[in-house]
Every structure is written in structure tokens, then in C-alpha cells.
């Protein structure tokens, strides 16, 4: 079956711009996660959705980062006033609660 | 919060040899330990996981062992093949306050299998 998909696969933007990253989870998965992976590091937790609500957003680095999942399926990670330090691979994962997390291919964000 | 240490950072083996990667964790409440394989330009792919009610789990050439007392777990790959070359990540869940979904990852091990 189809796995987790993320768009765009690559995004180049300028410092100060706004970006949106999209995640399409595996059909039927109620749990959705966003992680950020910097070069040479493991993924770091950003936010967890159970259904439509953000159950835990403790990993979001600051208030420039925001994520939504209005219908309990597709999720969008939004970054305002991007900074060069935001450059990383943004990974989305989905699963059933307390079960395996299946990752997508990621969106590679480069802020110039 | 949880802290996961992973060693070694790089590992080079000859085809057919075994490879072992070790991780330690800090949160004694953690009870779920997955291992992911990540190839260049791709997302992490789960290869095996273990829960704290068992000490060992095996799936063909891959095995994971868990020592809860010492708070460490290891990945064992036998009869390595060139296609096993990738970055491997261990992870542990955070199990405080009922929030057992959050994974903390190690920094990864770059495994190279030489033909």
C-alpha cells in the first residue's frame, strides 16, 4: 500500500519567507508526528497529533513554527519568518497510537 | 527527558561478517526501542523493534537485545551484505506522564559493508 508522502521533496527559500510543508499519512492512521533532522543527527521530535488535535507540541522550537491537521488526515507544518538555522530535513511519520511510526521521505528545506 | 547514546558513529565490515551497534538510554520508564535504517536521501525505515517485556528478538539476519537493568540495547546484523550499507538509528520512547509516543533518537551509525 501507499506509504507516507511528503511534499515538496525539496524547498529552497530566502530568509524571512513563509513556508508550508505537507504530509499525507498512511490511510487510517490516527497518529501523526513531525520530526526535524539536521545533517549528521538523528530525527528530533517536533509535534504529535492524535486525530485533529495537537496532543503534544513541546518539540516546536519557537512560535514561528505551527502545524495543523484540520480533518485528521493531511497535516501541514508552517514556518514563519524562516531563518538559516531552520534548514534541515523535516520528516513526517504516521501510525496507530503507541504503535510503530512509519516515516515519509522528508522535505529538505534550505533557507538562504 | 530521555537521552540516547549510540556507538560507534561509523562501522566498516567485510561482506559476510557481523555488525553490532550499541545504544544506551537514560529514562528507566522507556519501554519501546525501535531501530531504523536510513539510506541516502530517504526517510528512516523500521527494521526491527523490541518492547521491554522481552530480552531478545530476531528477524532473519537481524536481532536486537535489551538489558533493562543496564539500560542498553544492541542491534546485531549477521552475514552482512553490501545492501546493508546505510545509517542506522536506535530510538527509545519517552514514557512519562502517559506520553509514550515521543521517540528520542541516537545520532546514528554509518555502516559500510565492503564487498
A94: chain B residues, CB-CB within 8 Å = none
pLDDT beyond 70 at B84: yes
Question: Phi/psi of residue A72, each to 5°?
Answer: 75, 15
Residue A79 to residue A70: CA distance in whole angstroms: 17
User: In angstroms, what separates the C-alpha of B10 from chain A's closest C-alpha?
Assistant: 11
User: Cβ of A42 and B100 within 8 Å?
Assistant: no
What residues in B contact A106, CB-CB < 8 Å? Answer: 42-43
Say yes or no to pLDDT of B98 above 70.
no
Residue B68 is predicted with a pLDDT of 93
For A25, which DSSP code? P
Greatest distance between any 2 Cα atoms in chain A? 38
Residue B38 has pLDDT above 90, yes or no: yes
Q: Which of residues 35-54 of B touch A (CB under 8 A)?
A: 36, 41-46, 49
Decide which of B35 and A98 is more confident: B35
B57 neighbourhood in chain A, CB within 8 Å: none
pLDDT at B73 over 70: yes
Q: What is the pLDDT of residues A81-94, one digit of tens each?
A: 999 999 999 999 99
Residue B53's pLDDT is what? 81
Task: Return the bridge partners of A30, or none.
Answer: none
Across the interface, whether the CB atoms of B103 and A100 are under 8 A apart is answered no
Q: Using 50, 70 and 90 to split pLDDT, how confident is the model at B75?
A: very high
Band of residue B96 on the pLDDT scale cut at 50, 70, 90: low
Closest residue in chain B to residue A95, using alpha carbons only: B101
Residue ranges in chain A whose pLDDT is less than 70: 1
Separation CA B54–CA B39 (nearest Å): 29
pLDDT, tens digit (0-9, with 9 covering 90-100), for B3-31: 999 999 999 999 999 999 999 999 998 99
Question: Which of A35, A73, A17 lies closest to B43 in space, CA to CA?
Answer: A35
The pLDDT value recorded for residue B101 is 82
**Residues from chain A contacting residue B43 (CB–CB below 8 Å):** 4, 91, 103-106
User: Residue B101 and residue B73: Cα distance in Å, rounded?
Assistant: 19
Amino acid at each position: 500500500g501507499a506509504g507516507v508522502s511528503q511534499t515538496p521533496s525539496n524547498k529552497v527559500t530566502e530568509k524571512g519567507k513563509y513556508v508550508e510543508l505537507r504530509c499525507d499519512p498512511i490511510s487510517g492512521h490516527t497518529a501523526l508526528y513531525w520530526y526535524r533532522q539536521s545533517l549528521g543527527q538523528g530525527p528530533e521530535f517536533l509535534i504529535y497529533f492524535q486525530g485533529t488535535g495537537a496532543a503534544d507540541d513541546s518539540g516546536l522550537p519557537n512560535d514561528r513554527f505551527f502545524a495543523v491537521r484540520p480533518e485528521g488526515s493531511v497535516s501541514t507544518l508552517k514556518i514563519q519568518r524562516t531563518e538559516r538555522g531552520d534548514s534541515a530535513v523535516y520528516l513526517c511519520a504516521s501510525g496507530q497510537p503507541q504503535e510503530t511510526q512509519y516515516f515519509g521521505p522528508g522535505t529538505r528545506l534550505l533557507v538562504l | 527527558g530521555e537521552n540516547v547514546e549510540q556507538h560507534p558513529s561509523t562501522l566498516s565490515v567485510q561482506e559476510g561478517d557481523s555488525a553490532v551497534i550499541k545504544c544506551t538510554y537514560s529514562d528507566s520508564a522507556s519501554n519501546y526501542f525501535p531501530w531504523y535504517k536510513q539510506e541516502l536521501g530517504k526517510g528512516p525505515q523500521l527494521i526491527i523493534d523490541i518492547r521491554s517485556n522481552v530480552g531478545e528478538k530476531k528477524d532473519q539476519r537481524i536481532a536486537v537485545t535489551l538489558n533493562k537493568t543496564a539500560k542498553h540495547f544492541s542491534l546485531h546484523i549477521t552475514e552482512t551484505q553490501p545492501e546493508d550499507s546505510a545509517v542506522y538509528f536506535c530510538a527509545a520512547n519517552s514514557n512519562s506522564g502517559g506520553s509514550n509516543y515521543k521517540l528520542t533518537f541516537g545520532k546514528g551509525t554509518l555502516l559500510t559493508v565492503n564487498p
